Structure 1
Amino acid sequence: MISANTTKMHAEAQETADAVARQFAANADVIDALVARLKRNPPRFIVTCARGSSDHAATYGKYLFETTLGLVTASASPSVGSVYAVQPHLDGALFVAISQSGKSPDLVRNAEIAKAAGALVVALVNVADSPLARIADTVIPLHAGPEKSVAATKSYLCSLAALLQLTARWSGDAALLAATQTLPDKLREAWQQDWSALVDGLKDARNLFVLGRGLGLGAAQEAALKFKETCGLHAEAFSSAEVKHGPMAIVGPGFPVLAFAQDDDTGAGTAAVAEEFRQRGAPVWLARPGATGAGILPLPASQHPACTPLLTVQAFYGAVNALAVARGHNPDVPPHLNKVTETV
């Protein structure tokens, strides 16, 4: 039997704060040069392109760009370019491709199409000399360092941190800039949170909903994926607004729900949905900075709502790693999965 504290996933997730601090320092000049270029020639809109955990980072990026910069942001469907061979009209767009390995052929192909169409291509990659990086106009290295566990952890959070640093400097938002300075320490604090109640509660679970909204939706998507790949637990992510349009009908006694509530205008609504499910007899856990009471998973106070998803996911990674081991799984080597997935 393996121990939860000896997995590669545990060790790598624990390194996140140091990786983010390293990234912020190393990328300052790259980010400033990109911001200067974006201010000289403002994009008409933003398009993201990613798969898996990186696409969950792109969801976070969408809400971050739209709420902070006011720029409409859409997610590209990689198959449109790689399989259907359609060339979208992307002239004047900022095209943000996110990939830990930078090797997936469909992402590489879509970046080529975007560049040929006149978009400014920015690649967020952990492998700075990857095929995707070689195509990009600007490369923002994640600086996560080697990641050997199949389940991405620090590279995912470094993707969010890179989007955060870019947006903070681009917008010039003083509160957001200040929050980035304290983020590594806040991530260390988040890693120390005790989410053992969630581990105990889900040890024998078979299905699960994970809820989030706005800036926190990508965190819910990431959590649902990690439950599936590391724990063999079927989990589905929903917006706390969208879950009321049908999916909530199956939630009742014995159907667990994990809710990530933001410390912004979406938080009260997410907490209210969680409470409605609890009143139905569903086992419910709520993670929300500053919340107290039954079923609350602790989180450190966040310096800015845009930082909250990173703190939430960092605390979650410790719990899901422990849950995987408790359920008899090795989170480092999920069945049928490889570290690099090369879709075409």
Structure 2
Amino acid sequence: MPAPDSTWMHTEAAEAANAVARQFAANAATIDALVERLRAQPPRFIVTCARGSSDHAATYGKYLFETTLGLVTASASPSVGSVYAVQPKLDGALFVAISQSGKSPDLLRNAEIAKAGGAHVVALVNVADSPLARLADTVLPLHAGPENSVAATKSYLCSLAALLQLTARWSGDAKLLAAVDALPDAMRQAWAQDWSPLVSGLRLADHLFVLGRGLGLGAAQEAALKFKETCGLHAEAFSSAEVKHGPMAIVGPDFPVLAFAQDDDTGAGTAAVADEFRARGAPVWLARPGEAGPGVLPLPASPHPAATPILTVQAFYAVANALSVARGYDPDVPPHLNKVTETV
């Protein structure tokens, strides 16, 4: 097995802050032009389309768009267009397609349908000359650079950052704009946090829940995927509100829980659920800016609650990589997986 700090996953995740800074500078003019159009012709609603890690970025985008812009945002089911050959009515919509490779056939088909139906198609894609980029009306390159590990890390974080920059400039919110400026440095601080207790706590685990809520739900989804993908560990993500509607019944001693609590109005509720599980004897770890105490995974102060999920995932990637190696896996080459998944 490789040393934890010698994997592509570790190297690429460590590059994320620089990639985000590069992206912010490179995309500013394109985003300003897009924002001018969106303000002149406001979309009636927003539709996202993605799979895998990119779909978790879309979850973040949904909460970001709805809480900041007040625009209803829905997730398109790619199979509706690619398999069932249905053409949803998307006239007047902003269609946001997110993909690292920009090659997945079902994503391309749905973007084609959206464009033909009158939507303005925006592609967030790491391969700037990909089929999806060529199809889109507006392309926001992720500028993550080459990603050799099968597990997406810096491209995922760059997807979140692109959504944040777009929303900040579209809304004109001064605090959000300041958070964009502060984000790369905050990400570097997040990468330096010590989450090693999670490695010893989960090295022999068979399953766990990952909790988040609101802006932090996508981060929980992404963590659960990475546990499965890189660590061979069965993990399920839930909203800290939704977990109380049935799934919490199986949490008890020896059932670990990782909770990502936001520094906003959802945070106290997520922390309370974590406390409830801890009282049942479950091993519980909580990550939340400004929190301290037993079982707390440290996070730096966040420049804005909308930036907190980015810092959380940045810190998480370091420990996911280390846990993968500790469990006897190579995080760069998960079994049965390829870098590009061409779903039809």
Same fold (TM over 0.5): yes
Cα distance in structure 2, aligned partners of 1:50 and 1:182: 28
State the partner residue of 1:31: 31
Query: Deviations for 1:56-99, whole angstroms, at most 9, x for unmatched residues?
Result: 00000000000000000000000000000000000000000000
Cα distance in structure 1, aligned partners of 2:118 and 2:21: 33
Query: Deviations for 1:294-339, whole angstroms, at most 9, x for unmatched residues?
Result: 1000000001000000000000000000000000000000000000
Q: CA deviation at 1:43?
A: 0.1
Query: Deviations for 1:258-298, whole angstroms, at most 9, x for unmatched residues?
Result: 00000000000000000000000000000000001110000
Amino acid at match of 2:91: D
Query: Deviations for 1:171-194, whole angstroms, at most 9, x for unmatched residues?
Result: 000000001101000000000000
Q: Secondary structure at the match of 2:124?
A: strand
State the partner residue of 1:108: 108
Query: Deviations for 1:98-154, whole angstroms, at most 9, x for unmatched residues?
Result: 000000000000000000000000000000110111110000000000000000000
Find out whether 1:45 has 2:56 as its counterpart: no
Amino acid at match of 1:125: V
Q: CA deviation at 1:2?
A: 1.0
Q: Secondary structure at the match of 2:229?
A: helix
Q: CA deviation at 1:9?
A: 0.2
State the partner residue of 1:214: 214
Cα distance in structure 1, aligned partners of 2:171 and 2:52: 28
TM-score when normalising by structure 1: 1.00
Cα distance in structure 2, aligned partners of 1:130 and 1:21: 22
State the partner residue of 2:20: 20
State the partner residue of 2:250: 250
Cα distance in structure 1, aligned partners of 2:206 and 2:83: 35
Question: RMSD of aligned C-alpha atoms?
Answer: 0.3
State the partner residue of 1:233: 233
- Number of aligned residue pairs: 344
Q: CA deviation at 1:48?
A: 0.1
Amino acid at match of 1:254: D
Find out whether 1:313 has 2:313 as its counterpart: yes
Cα distance in structure 1, aligned partners of 2:324 and 2:131: 33
State the partner residue of 2:204: 204
TM-score when normalising by structure 2: 1.00
Q: Secondary structure at the match of 1:110?
A: helix
State the partner residue of 1:153: 153
Q: Give ranges in structure 2 of 5+ residues lacking alignment.
A: none
Q: Percent identity, aligned pairs only?
A: 85
Q: Secondary structure at the match of 2:182?
A: helix
Find out whether 1:88 has 2:88 as its counterpart: yes
Cα distance in structure 1, aligned partners of 2:290 and 2:156: 25
